[in-house]
Amino acid sequence: MPIRLVTRRAAMAACVAVALMSTMASAALAAGPVTGQIQVGGAVRSPLTLTVDDLRAFPADQIGTFTLKKEVEGREQSTTVRGVRLAAVLERAGVVGKDRHEWKSMAVIATASDGYKVVFSWPELTNTDVGAGVLVIFERDGRALDDGEGRIALVSGRDLRSGPRHVKWLSKIEIKPL
């Protein structure tokens, strides 16, 4: 009998261990592939690698803050984000073109570490109200972004629906001529 009891205890312990490992693995997958830096490249003079500290160090006039609103379960929720204008990030890298008109047909591709991508046109970012609201964010409601969003993300706060162009775990920004 005692041997059977030890065997049951061992089986229970093994089940608990498997359940804990499964929960931890699920939590890691839910957190996503967290990134702590972004690569900026493509048609630029100086490719960049930027961290959260680098983004915080941008001049104040290039950092934006705005409130995003969304409806959850019939109630409106709002959150305040802070980050650097995407256009300012690309301007720091130095956008280049073959001639003075090429900028009109350049695409900006923001890519997450899980492969999700969104696209903006360069004229949209530099010449529209929507572009002024596209931020590479590092803070939400006064706190650093958590693992569920990555340390660096991107939002387009002036889109009618901000969700489709919200890039969690932002890892790369490229500008390319079309």
**What's the CATH number for 32-177?**
3.90.420.10
At residue 76, the pLDDT reads 82
Total-model pTM: 0.79
More confident residue, 160 or 119: 119
* Rounded distance between C-alpha atoms, residue 166 and residue 156, angstroms: 6
pLDDT tens track for 84-107: 999 999 999 999 988 888 888 999
Mean pLDDT over residues 144-154, rounded? Answer: 94
17 pLDDT band, cuts 50/70/90, is very low
pLDDT at 12 over 70: no
Candidate ranges 1-10, 19-28, 120-129; pick with highest mean pLDDT: 120-129
pLDDT tens track for 150-175: 999 999 999 988 789 999 999 999 99
Q: Residue ranges of the domains in the chain?
A: 1-31, 32-177
pLDDT tens track for 50-63: 999 999 999 999 99
* Rounded distance between C-alpha atoms, residue 118 and residue 114, angstroms: 13
